[in-house]
Chains A and B, each alone.
Chain A
Amino acid sequence: MSPSPTPRAPQRKTRTDGFPKGMGDSPRYRMRKILDRLFQIVSALAAIVVISPLLLIFVFLLSSGGSSLTWDFLTQLPKPVGETGGGMANAVVGSCILVAVATAIGAPIGVLGGVCLCEYGGPRLRAAIRFTADVLNAVPSIIWGIVVYSWVVLRMKTFSGLAGGLALSFIMIPLILRTTEDVVRLVPPAYREAGLALGIRRSQVILHIVLATARRGVVTGVLLAAARVAGETAPLLFTAFGNRVWASRLDEPMAALPLQIFAYAISPYPDWHRQAWAGALVLLALVFLMNAVVRILSKGKTR
């Protein structure tokens, strides 16, 4: 007779599900641990690579333009060639006006477009317009400059702040449309139904209930788009054109920070180069500020 087997669990190196049996001392497990660690390190490095340019740019701008960033720079007009001093006050104000004009045109169109798309559009129309907006977002910004040049500048026979604002608004519209559509779609259908069930008209439901619920996201989208176009140069080259004095009206050429930086940077004068650095610093600070506002707004998001 064969020895009667005492019933006991079979001794196995590995469990049937493929996990090693021990508590983590096998070579295979140690290898995995190392790989895991390595992945962490590589991710951290990538993060540093992403963040460091912003810090480097900021430090570099501070060292090159910080000394020129005086009160005069922010309050004085440019001095004629050869004279030192002077500032970019007109360009700072001009940039603010251009972004304001662009927002005034682009925000209502973009927001209403996004809302209508979401509330009234069928799925196919929505996909088509979303695709179009994505393509428009990828159009190089100088194209918008040319379009507005041929539509507006040639007809008005003058470069103008209005044309510059219009060119910027063309960049803003698809951006705002997409963000608006995204946040409006997040508003639960229950609120629309509740509004309709109260005998509220659909347009009122959309304006006062849906859009009100999504307003923080909508404002965030508008601000992000504004921050994006604040630094645009190409669409302004032959629309707003730039101006070395105050532009008092929207149908005159208007100064803008990116244009002024561009003009000063390619000039042969070291004093202008320093001012271009200072201008870049101001521009970066403006964009930084707008993004900070966006952060604060979206952080306060409840629910």
Chain B
Amino acid sequence: MSRSLPDPEGSAPASSRETDPQKIPAAFQIEELRVAFGSRPVLHGISLEIPARQVTGIIGPSGCGKSTFLRTLNRMHEFTPGVRIQGRVRLFGEDIYDPKVDPILLRRRVGMVFQKSNPFPTMSIQENVLVGLRLAGIRNRSLLEERLEEALRMAALWNEVKDRLHAPGTELSGGQQQRLCIARALAVRPEVLLMDEPCSALDPIATAQIESLIRDLREHYSIVLVTHNLQEAGRTADFTAFFLEGKLIEFESTKKLFTNPHQKQTEDYLTGRYG
């Protein structure tokens, strides 16, 4: 793969990096986060510091609240009826649930990529990448062009689509569509990228491409990666948090968590005794 923003260290193994989460400045500081839908509690007091410019994987069986957790980080629960959120989430020190914070502006700092690629069907590749900027009111042609190329190169898609930027985004293959969605999120230049099982609908080759992309992107972004694929967390994440039934069981460097978990529940899950 060719890329204009080369990242020689990006593909370095996780072990050569800092392995103690406490020693790295935090992107998110989460304190006693509780989420309930109606009368059904989903998260029971999560406290966690997500390190900046690292890939933090979140693993756990289905229904453990990992997606719910991810969506509290960019306030995507805003429109869910009957949701109650307690506790504190700070993004680089700023409380994102402060009434003064505009969730729109927050989401421009915290991008999100979903499980199923969802390029807007009425828009071309170019329009898809630029829609976040355009609808935020940016009209400057040269700036838009610059961001278009930057985002597509970052998402390792530029070379594949540069000659057909006006083709519909839905014409691309599944893996390309997912990278288009990543480019779309990157075009607004967020600081954090939330990824909700981005590879679960992709074939192994497309998955490998996205995973290598994620490893490269951590030089510029703090990434939170929800996955139910343990190998994926092992391959991509610097740190891994294990969730079970709405609780954070363990948070460690990926290597430690996978080779030498402190908690029995973690070990049970890793060895396949849950879901």
Q: Which residues of A contact B (CB under 8 A)?
A: 122, 188, 190-191, 193-201, 204-205, 208-209, 212-213, 215, 303
- In the complex, besides A197-B112, A197-B114, A198-B184, 18 extra interface pairs with C-beta distance below 8 angstroms are A190-B114, A191-B121, A193-B118, A194-B181, A194-B184, A195-B131, A195-B135, A196-B76, A196-B107, A197-B74, A197-B76, A197-B111, A199-B104, A199-B136, A199-B188, A200-B135, A212-B120, A213-B121
Q: Tell me the bound Cα distance from A303 to B119 in angstroms.
A: 13
Q: Tell me the bound Cα distance from A52 to B121 in angstroms.
A: 40
CB distance from A218 to the nearest CB of B (A): 12
CB distance from B182 to the nearest CB of A (A): 12
> Which of A122, A208, A213 makes the CB contact (< 8 A) with B131?
A208
B147 within 8 Å of A by Cβ? no
B105 within 8 Å of A by Cβ? yes
Chain A residues touching B, majority SS: helix
Decide: A194 near B111, CB < 8 A? Known: A200-B135, A200-B136, A201-B104: no
B contacts with A, residue count (CB < 8 A): 29
Chain B 161-196 against A: per-residue CB contact (8 Å), 1 yes, 0 no? Answer: 000000000100000000001001100100000000
Residues of A contacting B185 with CB < 8 Å?
A: 197-198
Q: Is the beta-carbon distance between B170 and A303 smaller than 8 angstroms? A: yes
Select from chain A the residue with minimum beta-carbon distance to B81.
Answer: A122
B261 within 8 Å of A by Cβ? no
Q: Is the beta-carbon distance between A191 and B118 smaller than 8 angstroms? A: yes
Q: Tell me the bound Cα distance from A188 to B117 in angstroms.
A: 12
From 82 to 114 in chain B, residues with beta carbon under 8 angstroms from any chain A beta carbon are 104-109, 111-112, 114
Q: Is the beta-carbon distance between B118 and A190 smaller than 8 angstroms? A: yes
Q: Is the beta-carbon distance between B135 and A213 smaller than 8 angstroms? A: no
Residues of B contacting A303 with CB < 8 Å?
A: 121, 170
Residues of A contacting B121 with CB < 8 Å?
A: 191, 213, 303
Select from chain A the residue with minimum beta-carbon distance to B128.
Answer: A194
Task: Show 16 A/B contacts (Cβ-Cβ < 8 Å), sorted by A.
Answer: A190-B114, A191-B120, A193-B76, A193-B118, A194-B114, A195-B135, A196-B79, A196-B107, A197-B114, A198-B184, A198-B185, A199-B105, A199-B109, A199-B132, A212-B120, A213-B121
Q: Which residues of B contact A (CB under 8 A)?
A: 74, 76, 78-79, 81, 104-109, 111-112, 114, 116, 118, 120-123, 131-132, 135-136, 170, 181, 184-185, 188
Select from chain A the residue with minimum beta-carbon distance to B118.
Answer: A190
Q: Tell me the bound Cα distance from A215 to B185 in angstroms.
A: 25
Select from chain B the residue with minimum beta-carbon distance to A205.
Answer: B135
Residues of A contacting B81 with CB < 8 Å?
A: 122
Q: Tell me the bound Cα distance from A199 to B191 in angstroms.
A: 13
Q: Is the beta-carbon distance between B122 and A198 smaller than 8 angstroms? A: no
Q: Is the beta-carbon distance between B131 and A198 smaller than 8 angstroms? A: yes
Decide: A193 near B131, CB < 8 A? Known: A200-B136, A213-B122: no
Residues of A contacting B131 with CB < 8 Å?
A: 195, 198, 200, 208-209
Q: Is the beta-carbon distance between B114 and A193 smaller than 8 angstroms? A: yes
Q: Is the beta-carbon distance between A198 and B120 smaller than 8 angstroms? A: no
Q: Tell me the bound Cα distance from A208 to B108 in angstroms.
A: 18
Q: Tell me the bound Cα distance from A205 to B120 in angstroms.
A: 11
Q: Tell me the bound Cα distance from A204 to B170 in angstroms.
A: 21
CB distance from A134 to the nearest CB of B (A): 25
Q: Tell me the bound Cα distance from A201 to B79 in angstroms.
A: 13
Q: Tell me the bound Cα distance from A213 to B119 in angstroms.
A: 11
Select from chain B the residue with minimum beta-carbon distance to A187.
Answer: B121
Q: Is the beta-carbon distance between B114 and A199 smaller than 8 angstroms? A: no
Select from chain B the residue with minimum beta-carbon distance to A209.
Answer: B120
CB distance from A196 to the nearest CB of B (A): 7
Residues of A contacting B170 with CB < 8 Å?
A: 303
Q: Is the beta-carbon distance between A198 and B114 smaller than 8 angstroms? A: no
> Which of B78, B108, B116 makes the CB contact (< 8 A) with A199?
B108
Decide: A212 near B122, CB < 8 A? Known: A199-B188, A204-B135: yes
> Which of A196, A199, A213 makes the CB contact (< 8 A) with B120?
A213
Residues of B contacting A196 with CB < 8 Å?
A: 76, 78-79, 107
Q: Tell me the bound Cα distance from A205 to B104 in angstroms.
A: 12
